[in-house]
Structure 1
């Protein structure tokens, strides 16, 4: 489900929604990112957004929040994000966007997305408080976003339970992909000395070698985190029967394939 929903939800971070945020006064991509993604939390201060998002380096959120709220309200940001994301998804789906099958898939995804427990999941709970869009393409995007953030809140809990901080998680992901930390897109802008210190700390805990290669302990820790993340995401789908879940998976496959082609 992660592989099928991620391309749909993350179309939010493509060109069309970004342009929509720039058109309402955002200075750059990251202004729009933080305004749109944090909007369901209301006028939460940077410290709260930093805690909920979990994986940004110290000070990164504060470069955008609360500045963005001087240009746009959370309610306006929610609308810009939804409209821009639905437009981008519709454009990339082409004829699929008007398929009767999409209406059914959006309905199944929405049932799952609005049935999961909210306890301990601040960002998911904020999204759950929003109205579900009526238009099928927008509804599908909204459902995918709900399920993505539900999983994300659980993933943060799994990382926290294993003592892995946000920057550490990015470094470990980079290393698992065979990349150096300073080559990985989400953290490449951080000072090399800072990233080197993170790798040193992970080595001191026995998770990686001095050269930044996973140890057996590191691999086992990563596997436990991923397994726990899956387990915590699973309750969202218990509302669907086995046949409905199979139908959802089959219906999402061509949609996700089309969405994955977006820059």
Structure 2
């Protein structure tokens, strides 16, 4: 029997803070120390490295939600400073350090090995078809150390879900910038205040919002219409459905055990990150 979608979504909520320690200051500092010019150099080097020496156009397509030309400011420049293998190693080591710091005493818990094992079983069992970034990560070795292994598993599960999310957005005709506008509105924020798109030219961002308004998703005040809220919810539901196969390898008791094991870790990581 398939797992309830509420539990699939709960897994997303729990793995997100664990995986995204990779975007923290600890990792940024580690990439700056090996020659990256800024945060985004390290971001693209670390996250794109499993794709190999892919050109900016391919990274842009796989990452999906960056404005045109953003990736090309960093790829392939970063590959003149660091190899893909080195970038993967820097990211893994620094992400594990960041996670260990935020977990505190939980990093030494006797239960951590079991949590990492369950998460890894799910993370390496999902289908790779149509999921380029997830497939690239799957080709990497799984770290043996439990904290690093948990971060790696969470990252695999996050990117598996993310690849599926991009597919859903494509089906519904939502481009990368539009996806960020919808995210901003879901967070109760006007699009022009959202960090990921606020740098865009005012006219360009206004045209994106106008396009969503023309579809009945955004109201005159720049917020969600009721149809827009339902639309965003439907995208999230379909994304969860696409993420579900990763957990088929676990039985109901194992998934409950994994959720229970991740909850204090995710809570500690989120608290430490604020």
State the TM-score bracket (shorter-chain normalisation): over 0.9
Deviant stretches of 4+, over 3 Å: none
- Decide whether the 8 Å contact of 1:200 with 1:210 is kept in 2: no
Partner Cα separation in structure 2 for residue 127 and residue 178 of structure 1: 33
Partner Cα separation in structure 1 for residue 102 and residue 183 of structure 2: 29
Residue 259 of structure 1: aligned partner: 269
Q: Which region of structure 1 is more displaced relative to structure 2, 134-143 or 197-206?
A: 197-206
The Cα offsets for residues 90-120 of structure 1, whole Å up to 9 and x where unpaired, read as 1121221111101100000000000000000
Unpaired runs of at least 5, structure 1: none
Residue 186 of structure 2: aligned partner: 176
Query: 2:117 aligned with 1:107, yes or no?
Result: yes
Partner Cα separation in structure 1 for residue 186 and residue 26 of structure 2: 31
The Cα offsets for residues 41-79 of structure 1, whole Å up to 9 and x where unpaired, read as 000000000000000000000000000000000010000
TM-score with structure 1 setting the length? 0.98
Equivalent position SS for 2:41: helix
Residue 21 of structure 2: aligned partner: 11
Partner Cα separation in structure 2 for residue 222 and residue 181 of structure 1: 15
Query: 2:228 aligned with 1:218, yes or no?
Result: yes
Query: 2:94 aligned with 1:84, yes or no?
Result: yes
Partner Cα separation in structure 1 for residue 111 and residue 27 of structure 2: 25
Root mean square deviation, CA, Å: 0.9
- Decide whether the 8 Å contact of 2:190 with 2:223 is kept in 1: no
Of 140, 164, 172 in structure 2, the residue corresponding to residue 130 of structure 1 is 140
Partner Cα separation in structure 1 for residue 254 and residue 95 of structure 2: 26
Of 246, 264, 270 in structure 2, the residue corresponding to residue 236 of structure 1 is 246
Equivalent position SS for 2:28: helix
The Cα offsets for residues 193-231 of structure 1, whole Å up to 9 and x where unpaired, read as 211111111111222123222223322221211110000
- Decide whether the 8 Å contact of 1:106 with 1:137 is kept in 2: yes
TM-score with structure 2 setting the length? 0.94
Tell me the number of residue pairs that the alignment of Structure 1 and Structure 2 aligns.
Answer: 263
